[in-house]
Structure 1
Amino acid sequence: MLPLFLLLVVSDGYASEVSAVQPLILTVSSLSRDTVSSVVPVDREVQIHVSEEFDRIALYDSNPQGQNREPIYVVGAEHDFIETNVSLGNPDFPQGWALNSQSDVAGVHVPGEHCLPVWVAGFRNKEIVYTDCLKIHPTWMQDSKLFIGNLDVRSLFIPGTHNSGCYKRGEKLSLRDTIGRYILTQDQSVWNQLVYGIRYLDFRIGYYPTKENSSITDDHESRFWINHDLIKVRPFAPVLGQIKKFLERTTNEVVIMDLHRFPIGFNMREERHAAFVSFLERELKDLAIPFTSSQLTLDKIWTTPGRLIISYGENSIAQTKDWLWPPIKQLWGNKATMEELEDFMSKIVSNDSLQNPDKGLWAAMAQLTPGPLELLFNPKGSLREMAHKVNPNLMRWCQRSHWWRKLRIVPTDFFLETDIVNLAINANVLKSHQDTRYDTD
């Protein structure tokens, strides 16, 4: 269900910010830290963003309303941003949305947003006056169907992740993971990303031949890996399985899979591209949305069996199949400071030519870029640290009306440190109401 404040804003016809009335917002820190009591680093610690005055603020592990619950964290409300020591951990997703849920058998996957066991409450005069929770949004497109169906897929504000398959290897953050300071960009599996509400996935694919005289065919799944540039991270096939399972479990969610680059094993080897496309065709063609340069609204997509846009980073290959989309343009600033990044993002928003649907799909890459000196001489630097600088600012930037109206795909690192999914849900409803699909003002 859409927030009441959003319906009121829509009926009034315009809004300058999409989340200005949310007094408390919960996010999850990108940082990890060592502790004295454990050799395993702690990560995913909850953050609280405060935009109204309260006497105190508390965290709970369940809904505190109407029950005598003991808080798990209490703090005074004199700050507008609070970093707690309460870890989200790895909570089970409710209502049938766990990856290996038993409800697969029964087919029970309850649509709508659902709370995780982290709640925040704001107090005035010893009374709770506001509550909210960390949520999953597995069916936000379906939930907003009546509002956003008229939007062209090229005009949507789409929450995404950068290097979506570069996340930690196990349930807990390991020392091996922390050593890869400039490799990991996420802390959630691709399944989790989709259930939280991410709808754009960004991959770099490597091809790794097996030993000579092997009986494994060129298009066997074992040859294709997710890379972070030249670094081999994880097999692609299990991640593909998570995407397929999500699309099979939902009915109206549209996902964009950007096979953006092929840094290892594909250069000047068209036969390997052909093998990879053969693998994709075998696994995904039935779910793929055929490419069209014409207007393609969500309503139109929902009348077809397709739910997945597959963008292929080599245009000459994409043109050989009608179910492959051309490369998505990623707009990189390669900036080292927040001031430079904000200026770069502002120029993207001000570029009216990007609002033309004929430009196709494009993504504004909201990441700082480590330079050679950063890599060599800052032993404590990491992509986590960089995301920690960017993410709270990105939330604030995207709330500006001329930003959320004009941005399209916004991929983030450690996306739970932003409120990007809620921003996208609200922004798309407002876009639909204001009919800004082809806005160039």
Structure 2
Amino acid sequence: MTKFSLLILLTWNFILFHSGKGQHDCQDVSDDFFAAQIILSFASWDHNDVKEYIAIYYYNPGFKPGDKIGLHVNDTARIQPFTKYYYPSTMNGFVYFTDVDTSLLTYESQSIYQQQCLGYSASWIRNGTIRKTSCLSTHPDWMHQRRALLETESFLSILIPGTHNSGSYLKRPPETLIEKFTATQDGSILNQLIMGARYFDLRPGKQDNKYWIFHGDYLMTPLQQTIDDVIQFMNNTQEIVCLHFKEFPHGFETSKDHLKFIRYLRKQFEPHLLSTKSASWASTFKRIWNYNRRLIISYDHHIYPPIYKMWPPITQMWGNVQSIDELRSYLALAESKLVYPRASMAELTMDVHGVVTHAVAEAFGLDHTSLRKMGSSIGPYITQWYNEFFYHNASIVAVDYLNATGIVEVALEWNDRKFSPCYDSYVNLMEQNDIKNKFTIISG
């Protein structure tokens, strides 16, 4: 390992483990790196026209010509160490480092419930000195790490990262046409929890006397797998998790079907289930932690029975849009509506006409898309929008393909800032540089 690589690793370790775990020092706002940010995301499949890449979103209103951003491999990665550089020309942007083997990114199983660097880090370098460093990492305990910061807050006052159609996941590339237009995540519920999601949008149904997660009319994963993942996570962390059950597309024709399902959920989750008799959406995290029951189940159906420990429905703000511009406009409107609790569904939707058109295009070898490709393409923009524009009022933000966005890191950063003495300084600086226009995505 070179001396420079060793310096990078040591710098990152110092920042990660000695930064106060969620606390921000109120630095001099005139410091060029007061509000600097580097956020890494990735895609690990090279199928379906989405190449393997590491992506870096950067924001630094104090950038100067000659600054550079370096992508580094730490010695924990099982690949040949390297450093790649990119020279920014504007204060914000998103650069793809393509042909990076991300298939080897994994966390150590013996410490799965502790934050881990996944082998890649990025640094903002000026005059040969590292001024800002960030790591591609897991976030299995981000709430508890910030316990002192969050204990007086509630679900209504912080930004919660989540996933859309959370149980519609494939751990391999989609192969069939149905898979390409139903899979919305590339990691299991446990993986999504480890990466930092805390809100899960689930569509349960029943077929052949067995509960499943559906996407529309299609079976995706057995519900029991989701339940096992959540229980395993709850048994090993102090995190607060919200499951949002809705739609019930098959096997829920009568009230008895719902009551039977609710009894099933209560039996499965009883040691962790937080009752509405004990807490509400406005309850502080401290109160929930004191109960030591940290699982919230929102039951989105007119049968909603609070006596069964289910929580009321969460308002989902869904735009049903097909383009980046439409999604940004919709989310700007959604985040201006101070309805709580609410979940902003930050994803593009493929309508029937789009599915048919792209299916025909694929059959003839023409350019086509999929939900995965759409999720990967929109990820950089969601990261920027919530970091630079929508952080004020954002509540729950649910995305497709969680790892292709930086929504977890954005949520953690702005939760830290919101409750720091420097919050107004951050906001003032962001508003001074509210350039509104899109940035250019560049391949490095």
Q: Which range, TM-score by smaller chain?
A: 0.7 to 0.9
Deviations 1:361-396 (A, max 9, x none): 210111112223211112422112221332111111
| Partners of 2:45 and 2:173 within 8 A in 1 | no
In the alignment, the residues of structure 1 paired with residue 271 and residue 120 of structure 2 have an alpha-carbon distance, to the nearest angstrom, of 38
Q: How far is the alpha carbon of 1:277 from its aligned partner?
A: 1.2
Where does residue 272 of structure 1 map in the other structure? 257
| Partners of 1:31 and 1:384 within 8 A in 2 | no
In the alignment, the residues of structure 1 paired with residue 103 and residue 133 of structure 2 have an alpha-carbon distance, to the nearest angstrom, of 21
Distance 1:299 1:202, change over 3 A: same
| Partners of 1:55 and 1:77 within 8 A in 2 | yes
Deviations 1:207-234 (A, max 9, x none): 1134xxxxxxxxxxxx100111110011
| Partners of 2:52 and 2:98 within 8 A in 1 | no
Where does residue 82 of structure 1 map in the other structure? 96
Residue 47, structure 1, aligned to residue 47, structure 2: no
Distance 1:141 1:405, change over 3 A: same
In the alignment, the residues of structure 1 paired with residue 55 and residue 266 of structure 2 have an alpha-carbon distance, to the nearest angstrom, of 42
Where does residue 377 of structure 1 map in the other structure? 357
| Partners of 2:72 and 2:81 within 8 A in 1 | yes
TM-score normalized by structure 2? 0.77
Q: How far is the alpha carbon of 1:404 from its aligned partner?
A: 1.4
Q: Which amino acid aligns with 1:367?
A: E
List aligned pairs for 1:21-36, cutoff 5 A: 21-22=36-37, 24-29=38-43, 32-33=46-47
Q: How far is the alpha carbon of 1:7 from its aligned partner?
A: 4.2
Residue 387, structure 1, aligned to residue 375, structure 2: yes
Q: Which amino acid aligns with 2:298?
A: S
Deviations 1:33-82 (A, max 9, x none): 36xxxxxx986532223445545734314379xxxx96346354357412
Deviations 1:342-375 (A, max 9, x none): 11111122224x2xxxx4x210111112223211
Q: How far is the alpha carbon of 1:158 from its aligned partner?
A: 0.3
Count of aligned positions: 385
Deviations 1:13-39 (A, max 9, x none): x99xx99412x43211387436xxxxx
Structure 2, unpaired ranges of 5+ = 1-16, 362-367, 424-444
Q: Which amino acid aligns with 1:62?
A: D
| Partners of 1:206 and 1:226 within 8 A in 2 | yes
In the alignment, the residues of structure 2 paired with residue 115 and residue 308 of structure 1 have an alpha-carbon distance, to the nearest angstrom, of 27
Match of 2:230 among 230, 243, 249: 243
Deviations 1:75-129 (A, max 9, x none): 543574123211322533137344xxxxxxxxxx5x4x32112233555666766
Percent identical among aligned pairs is 27
In the alignment, the residues of structure 1 paired with residue 192 and residue 344 of structure 2 have an alpha-carbon distance, to the nearest angstrom, of 19
Distance 1:406 1:31, change over 3 A: farther
| Partners of 1:160 and 1:199 within 8 A in 2 | yes
- Local SS of the residue matching 2:298: strand
Match of 1:301 among 282, 288, 296: 288
Range that drifts further, 290-299 or 118-127: 118-127
Where does residue 240 of structure 2 map in the other structure? 254
Q: Which amino acid aligns with 2:357?
A: F
In the alignment, the residues of structure 2 paired with residue 295 and residue 126 of structure 1 have an alpha-carbon distance, to the nearest angstrom, of 48
Q: Which amino acid aligns with 1:327?
A: P
Residue 288, structure 1, aligned to residue 273, structure 2: yes
| Partners of 2:50 and 2:376 within 8 A in 1 | no
Structure 1, unpaired ranges of 5+ = 35-40, 99-108, 211-222, 437-441
| Partners of 1:151 and 1:432 within 8 A in 2 | no
In the alignment, the residues of structure 1 paired with residue 70 and residue 314 of structure 2 have an alpha-carbon distance, to the nearest angstrom, of 43
Q: Which amino acid aligns with 1:46?
A: I
Residue 412, structure 1, aligned to residue 422, structure 2: no
Distance 1:324 1:2, change over 3 A: farther
| Partners of 2:50 and 2:373 within 8 A in 1 | no
- Local SS of the residue matching 1:154: coil
TM-score normalized by structure 1? 0.78
Q: How far is the alpha carbon of 1:256 from its aligned partner?
A: 0.5
Give the CA RMSD over aligned residues.
3.2
Range that drifts further, 231-240 or 87-96: 87-96
Where does residue 426 of structure 2 map in the other structure? none
Where does residue 399 of structure 1 map in the other structure? 387
Match of 2:151 among 145, 149, 152: 149
| Partners of 2:53 and 2:96 within 8 A in 1 | no
